[in-house]
């Protein structure tokens, strides 16, 4: 299974990264930025069903509200009617999982590639070179430029405070988690509405659905903060660029989405100032 995963994901991604490295002046930081944007564009057709699904859910909100009023405390009746509405409109409730799974798989594959690079301490180790196709292989003893701004993209981005044994997330890791959180909020425009419905109906089904949807907004950014202190900063850079582009795409499709209340408050405060 490990060899299959490497052949299908790790190896192609490693080669793509090195192609961008050569195209962008042998700068690994620029290569990660360029390759991240490229991946986001390539993956867009695969994530489009999830975006279309969200648009359809927005369109049927009036129908769902009518069903809430009709069935009241009859949870089973409401869920059955809701499933029928989803079926009639071609909505797949699980479609939103695909983008998250794809992102996780790409992250794992890139992590494996970076781990092989780490073994070389600036040089290109044989283990990494073995991943590369013949046209992009490095010569024996070749050096790799892994510096970008204040970072070494193969090393974690962390703050170390005297007297504290553990490392704290660095600026890039914090930015990655923040942008990921904001991007997730934009892409999930119905959480606030569902919470209001759940409070009115006080049913476990609504509360569970709302809790699952809300947890996705916080889980991945929190994971980024926790594990980002041990991952190569190149992964944090990839995640930052990927999430920025995703947030921009979601904004074009849904506006501010789940951030709408925050944006409204910011505008109100600005108007008062």
Which region among 24-38, 170-184, 200-214, 242-256 has the lowest average model confidence (pLDDT)? Answer: 200-214
Q: What is the 3-state secondary structure (H, E, C) of 176-239?
A: HHHHHHHHHHHHCCCHHHHHHHHHHHCCHHHHHHHHHHHHHHHHHHHHHHHHCCCCCHHHHHHH
Total domains present in the chain: 1
Domain presence at residue 270: no
Residues in Cβ contact with 158 at an 8 Å cutoff, skipping those fewer than 6 apart? 167, 168, 169, 170, 173, 229
Domain presence at residue 128: yes
User: What pLDDT does 72 receive?
Assistant: 80
The token pair at 16 is 């793509």
Domain presence at residue 271: no
What value does the mean pLDDT take over residues 11-35?
91
In the predicted structure, residue 249 carries a pLDDT above the cut 50: yes
Domain presence at residue 129: yes
Which region among 24-28, 33-37, 67-71, 190-194 has the lowest average model confidence (pLDDT)? Answer: 190-194
Cα separations in angstroms, 28 against 37, 163, 228 = 14, 33, 19
- Give the C-alpha separation, 116 to 135, whole Å: 19
Assign 148 to helix, strand or coil.
Answer: strand
Domain presence at residue 269: no
Q: CB pairs under 8 A, 24+ apart, for 92-101?
A: 92/49, 92/53, 95/49, 95/50, 95/53, 96/50, 96/53, 96/54, 98/46, 98/47, 98/49, 98/50, 99/43, 99/46, 99/47, 99/50, 99/246, 100/216, 100/220
What domain range includes position 82? 2-259
Name the range with the highest mean pLDDT among 15-29, 72-86, 102-116.
15-29
Domain presence at residue 7: yes
- Give the C-alpha separation, 257 to 247, whole Å: 10
Mean pLDDT of the chain, nearest integer: 79
What value does the mean pLDDT take over residues 23-32?
92
Q: What percent of the chain has pLDDT over 70?
A: 82
Domain presence at residue 218: yes
In the predicted structure, residue 258 carries a pLDDT above the cut 80: no
The token pair at 65 is 């509200």
């Amino acid at each position: 299974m490990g060899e299959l995963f490497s052949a299908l994901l790790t190896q192609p991604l490693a080669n793509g990264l090195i192609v961008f490295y050569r195209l962008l002046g042998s700068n690994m930081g620029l290569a990660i930025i360029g390759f991240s944007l490229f991946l986001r564009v390539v993956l867009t057709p695969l994530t489009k069903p999830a975006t279309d699904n969200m648009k359809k859910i927005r369109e049927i909100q009036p129908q769902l509200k009518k069903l809430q009023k009709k069935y009241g405390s009859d949870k089973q009746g409401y869920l059955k009617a809701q499933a029928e509405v989803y079926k009639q409109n071609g909505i797949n409730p699980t479609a939103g999982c695909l983008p998250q799974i794809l992102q996780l798989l790409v992250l794992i594959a890139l992590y494996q590639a970076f781990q092989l690079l780490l073994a070389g301490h600036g040089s290109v180790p044989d283990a990494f070179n073995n991943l590369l196709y013949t046209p992009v292989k490095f010569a024996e003893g070749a050096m790799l430029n892994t510096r970008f701004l204040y970072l070494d993209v193969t090393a974690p981005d962390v703050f170390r405070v005297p007297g504290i044994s553990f490392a704290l997330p660095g600026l890039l890791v914090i930015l990655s988690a923040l942008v990921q959180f904001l991007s997730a909020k934009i892409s999930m425009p119905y959480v606030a509405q569902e919470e209001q419905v759940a409070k009115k109906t006080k049913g476990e089904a609504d509360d569970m659905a709302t809790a699952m949807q809300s947890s996705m907004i916080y889980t991945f950014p929190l994971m980024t903060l926790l594990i980002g202190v041990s991952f190569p900063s190149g992964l944090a850079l990839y995640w930052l660029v990927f999430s920025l582009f995703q947030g921009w795409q979601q904004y074009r499709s849904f506006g501010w989405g789940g951030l709408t209340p925050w944006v409204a408050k910011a505008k109100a405060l600005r108007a008062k100032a």
